[in-house]
Amino acid sequence: MRFYKDRDNSDKSIDYMFIEEGIIMGIHGENPPLMKTRKKIVIEEARLLWQKLLNEGWQKTNKKW
């Protein structure tokens, strides 16, 4: 799962984040993941989701894609 800010947003009064999900490629994940879904949500919702994932045991990693 990857979170990143929408820098091309035309509505400057509201900040949005993209959340992308993908699947692992290769036996040991040596290839970049294949993106399967992309959602655009307001930044406050993205922060809540991020905190929820961290509380559930998810960990921040280096970029893979």
Q: What's this model's pTM, rounded to 2 decimal places?
A: 0.72
Q: Is 61 domain-assigned?
A: no
Q: How many domains does the chain have?
A: 1
Q: What is the pLDDT of residue 64?
A: 65
8 versus 16: the higher-pLDDT residue is 16
| 47-62 exposure pattern, b = at least 16 Cβ within 10 A, e = fewer | eebbeeeeeeeeeeee
Mean pLDDT of 15-29: 87
CA dist 45 and 54 (Å) reads: 14
Q: Is 45 domain-assigned?
A: yes
What is the residue range of 12's domain? 2-55
Q: What is the dihedral of CA 21, 25, 29, 31, to 10 degrees?
A: -100
CA dist 56 and 61 (Å) reads: 15
CA dist 37 and 1 (Å) reads: 10
Q: Is 60 domain-assigned?
A: no
At 23-63, the pLDDT tens digits run 888 887 778 888 899 999 999 999 999 999 999 999 988 87
Q: Is 18 domain-assigned?
A: yes
Q: What is the pLDDT of residue 8?
A: 84
